[in-house]
């Protein structure tokens, strides 16, 4: 399968981008592995005709928005992010009416239609910086209420979570009761505040990679999607990494397999498209983020 994928990749002039939460074998065949911000950046620097996106829908949409002249393929139609479902354009309009002077910051884990209504997007790696770059004192922040809490603790601005209960089922289940704590505890800001409070470090997945690089510790507990451990083990084979909880699995991410990647290239499916008016507006919010961070 790996040989077949590499052969097709050459024929199509394709690159494979994989998120840190992908299966270990998918990470291994990818040309580039990273968090969504790193992948968004990479997508704009690539010289290729096809981008095969091994990640979930909103990430592939972002790659398509930033690369209108390339064909972006997502290998599975069901690779979706549950968190993104918490927010709709209707909810944003409602909040904007209620808070007419507020600015809208959307976590990249949101649909393109929502991003089109945002002043700026953010990731978990740059959320605080993005919020502090804005003029308004009140920020409508969605869809993750846990990331909103994390930002609220680190800014003087008034952060309004939009909606109040948006979350990721994978990270919400990483509770103080569920997780092991027998090593340096690295916690993702999508986790509940109670777990953030006992963390040795709170970081995005990209932030975790950087933290380990600077640390002298040998054993790390990784409180985010379980396959982040594969990424860390690959980069730091001399250290020990353990998932904080074995069941922290993002089913959307796991829809992508070597076989689906092969079929995706062979049949040139599924092409990711975003309506032009939405893409143009969303692009402004994404590019503003790329400038700030
Ligand atoms: O921004 C991303 O890639 C996500 C979803 C998590 C992270 O912290 O990298
Ligand atoms: Fe979405 Fe959660 Fe999966 Fe991340 S881990 S892609 S937030 S469902």
* Ligand with smallest separation from the Cα of 170: 2
Taking the centre of ligand 1 as the mean of its atom positions, its distance from the CA of residue 37, in whole angstroms, is 8
Taking the centre of ligand 2 as the mean of its atom positions, its distance from the CA of residue 29, in whole angstroms, is 22
Q: Which of 141, 111, 119, 143 minimizes the C-alpha distance to 128?
A: 141
- CB of 22 sitting under 6 A from ligand 1: no
Q: Over its length of 293 residues, how does the chain's per-residue pLDDT go in tens digits?
A: 999 999 999 999 999 999 999 999 999 999 999 998 899 789 889 899 999 999 999 999 999 999 999 999 999 999 999 999 999 999 999 999 999 999 999 999 999 999 999 999 999 999 999 999 999 999 999 999 999 999 999 999 999 999 999 999 999 999 999 999 999 999 999 999 999 999 999 999 999 999 999 999 999 999 999 999 999 999 999 999 999 999 999 999 999 999 999 999 999 999 999 999 999 999 999 999 999 98
DSSP tally for the chain: helices H, then strands E: 15, 12
Report strand pairing: 184-187 vs 138-142: unpaired
- CB of 143 sitting under 6 A from ligand 2: no
Contacts 24+ apart (CB under 8 A), 68-74: 68/279, 70/46, 71/268, 71/271, 72/271, 72/272, 73/14, 73/264, 73/265, 73/268, 73/269, 73/270, 73/271, 73/272, 74/264, 74/270, 74/272
Can you name the residues that pair with 104 across neighbouring β-strands? 140
- CB of 62 sitting under 6 A from ligand 1: no
């Amino acid at each position: 399968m790996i040989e077949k994928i590499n052969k097709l990749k050459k024929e199509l002039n394709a690159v494979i981008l994989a998120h840190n939460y992908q299966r270990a074998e998918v990470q291994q065949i990818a040309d580039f592995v990273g968090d969504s911000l790193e992948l968004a950046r990479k997508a704009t620097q690539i010289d290729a005709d096809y981008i095969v996106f091994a990640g979930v829908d909103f990430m592939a949409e972002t790659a398509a928005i930033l690369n209108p002249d390339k064909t972006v393929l997502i290998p599975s139609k069901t690779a979706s992010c549950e968190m993104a479902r918490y927010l709709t354009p209707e909810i944003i309009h409602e909040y904007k009416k209620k808070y007419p002077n507020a600015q809208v910051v959307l976590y990249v884990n949101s649909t393109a239609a929502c991003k089109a209504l945002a002043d700026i997007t953010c990731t978990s790696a740059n959320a605080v910086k993005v919020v502090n770059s804005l003029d308004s004192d009140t920020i409508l922040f969605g869809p993750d209420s846990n990331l909103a809490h994390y930002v609220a603790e680190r800014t003087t601005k008034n952060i309004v979570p939009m909606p109040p209960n948006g979350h990721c089922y994978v990270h919400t289940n990483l509770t103080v009761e569920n997780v092991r704590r027998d090593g340096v505890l690295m916690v993702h800001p999508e986790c509940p505040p109670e777990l953030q409070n006992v963390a040795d470090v709170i970081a995005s997945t990209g932030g975790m990679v950087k933290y380990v690089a600077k640390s002298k510790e040998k054993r790390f507990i990784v409180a985010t999607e379980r396959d982040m451990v594969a990424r860390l083990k690959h980069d730091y084979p001399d250290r020990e990494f353990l998932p904080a909880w074995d069941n922290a699995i993002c089913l959307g991410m796991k829809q992508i397999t070597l076989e689906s990647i092969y079929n995706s290239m062979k049949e040139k499916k599924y092409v990711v498209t975003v309506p032009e008016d939405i893409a143009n507006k969303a692009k402004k919010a994404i590019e503003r983020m790329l400038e700030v961070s």
